[in-house]
Amino acid sequence: MKDDLHLRPIHHQLEHRIEAHIFVAFLAYCLHVTLRARLKPLAPGLTPRAVLDKFAAIQMLDVHFPTTDGRTLILSRYTEITADQKLLARQLKLDLPPQKPPRITAPEKIPRLPANAV
């Protein structure tokens, strides 16, 4: 268990940071235990670490396309999942969220020089 959770000493000086660190570590532990319990009936033989390693390759990224009118088209996309990841997601009864629709930002304001600054 210790190897799976990568336990190590905490080096915080302020009490609220220590409490926050312990809280986040406890949440991670709860998620780990929940994933292990979910794996037992749906995918026996798989460890939480193996599942996390498999899904770690899925990334979310924003692709920015500048337009001719100064705006930017932003496409938020996750990487295409592999056949193994699809099989594992189906086995665990997980669905990836749909790809988000594109966003368009307002045009960038270009500072104008005063007429006498030339």
Q: Give the per-residue pLDDT at 35.
A: 93
Q: Give the per-residue pLDDT at 83.
A: 93
Task: Please report, for the chain, the start and end positions of each structural domain, with discontinuous segments joined by +.
Answer: 1-56, 58-109
Read off the tokens for 107.
């045009």
pTM above 0.85, yes or no: no
CA distances from 73 to 65, 93, 98, 102 (A): 5, 33, 18, 7
Q: Which parts of the chain register pLDDT below 50?
A: 1
Q: Give the per-residue pLDDT at 85.
A: 93
Q: Give the per-residue pLDDT at 23.
A: 92
Q: Give the per-residue pLDDT at 26.
A: 93
Read off the tokens for 87.
């099989």
Pairwise CA distance, residues 63 & 91, whole Å: 31
Residue count of the chain: 118
